[in-house]
Amino acid sequence: MHITFGTDGWRAIIAEDFTFENLKLVTGAIATYIKNSEDPGEGVVVGYDQRFLSEQFAEAVAEILGGNGLKVYLTSKPTPTPVTAFAIKHWKCKGGIMLTASHNPATYHGIKYIPYFAGPALPETTKKIEEALHKIAQNKEEIKGIKFSELENQGLVEKIDPQEPYLNHLKEIIDISAIKDNPAKIIIDPMHGAGIGYIEKFLEDSGCEVAAIHNYRDPLFGGGMPEPKEDQLGELKTKVLQEKAKLGLALDGDADRFGVIDKNGEYITPNQILSLVLDHLITRRGWEGPVARTVSTTHTLDNICEIYGTFVKETPVGFKYIGQALREGCILGGEESGGLSIKGHIPEKDGILACLLILEILCASKKSISENLQDLKEKYGGFVSRRLDLNVEPEQKEELQEVVKAYEPVKILGKPVVERITVDGTKIKLADGSWVLIRPSGTEPLFRVYAEAPTMDDVEAMQMEVKGEVFGRKGSIK
pLDDT score recorded for residue 382: 84
Note the pLDDT of residue 117.
98
Which pLDDT score, from 0 to 100, does residue 19 have?
A: 97
Whole-model pTM?
0.96
Strand stretches in 345-445, DSSP E: 384-391, 411-412, 415-421, 426-430, 435-440
3-state secondary structure at position 84: helix
What percentage of residues in the chain have a pLDDT greater than 70? 98
Average pLDDT over residues 114-123: 96
10-161 and 166-380 share one CATH topology? yes
SS3 100: coil
d(CA 170, CA 90): 13
- Residue range 225-275, pLDDT digits in tens: 999 999 999 999 999 999 999 999 999 999 999 999 999 999 999 999 999
CATH number of 166-380: 3.40.120.10
How many whole angstroms separate alpha carbon 465 and alpha carbon 457? 12
Q: How confident is the model at residue 68 (pLDDT cuts 50, 70, 90)?
A: very high
- Calpha distance 194→216 (Å, rounded): 9
Residue 403 has, within 13 A of its CA and on its CB side, a CA count of 17
| Mean pLDDT calculated for residue range 78-83 | 98
Listed by start position, the domains of the chain span 10-161, 166-380, 384-477
Inter-CA distances, 388 with 337, 373, 456, Å? 13, 24, 13
SS3 248: strand
pLDDT at 137: 86
Neighbour-count burial for 409-428, b at 16+ CB within 10 Å, e otherwise: beebeeeebeeeeeebbbbb
Whether residue 163 is predicted with pLDDT greater than 60 in this model: the reply is: yes
Q: What is the DSSP string of 322-361?
A: HHHHHHTT-SEEEETTTEEEETTS-SS--HHHHHHHHHHH
Average pLDDT over residues 344-372: 98
Question: What's the start-to-end Cα distance of the chain, in Å?
Answer: 28
Domain covering 10-161 assigned CATH 3.40.120.10 in the classification: yes
In degrees, rounded to 5, the angle at the alpha carbon of residue 191 between the alpha carbons of residues 119 and 50 is: 65
Using the 8-state DSSP alphabet, how is residue 446 labeled? E
pLDDT at 263 (0 to 100): 98
One-letter-per-residue 3-state SS of 157-219:
EEEECCHHHHHHHHHHHCCHHHHHHCCCEEEEECCCCCCCCHHHHHCCCCCCEEEECCCCCCC
Residue range 424-453, pLDDT digits in tens: 999 999 999 999 999 998 778 899 999 999
Indicate if the pLDDT at residue 7 is higher than 70.
no
Architecture of domain 384-477: 2-Layer Sandwich (3.30)
Helices (H) and strands (E) in the chain, counts: 16, 22
Q: Mean per-residue pLDDT for 346-372?
A: 98
Neighbouring-strand partners of residue 185: 209
Q: How confident is the model at residue 475 (pLDDT cuts 50, 70, 90)?
A: low
- pLDDT computed for residue 142 by the predictor: 82
CB 385 within 8 Å of CB 434: no
So what's the pLDDT on residue 4?
Answer: 81
Over 90: is that where the pLDDT of 9 sits?
no
Strand 415-421 and strand 312-315: the pairing is: unpaired
Q: Could you tell me where the beta strands, DSSP code E, fall in 237-320? A: 247-251, 258-262, 267-268, 291-294, 312-315
Given a contact cutoff of 8 angstroms between Cβ atoms, the answer to whether 385 and 298 are in contact is: yes
pLDDT tens digits, 297-333:
999 999 999 999 999 999 999 999 999 999 999 999 9
- Residues in the chain, total: 478
> Dihedrals φ, ψ of 64, to 5°?
-70, -45
105: number of Cβ within 10 Å: 14
**Mean pLDDT across the chain:** 95
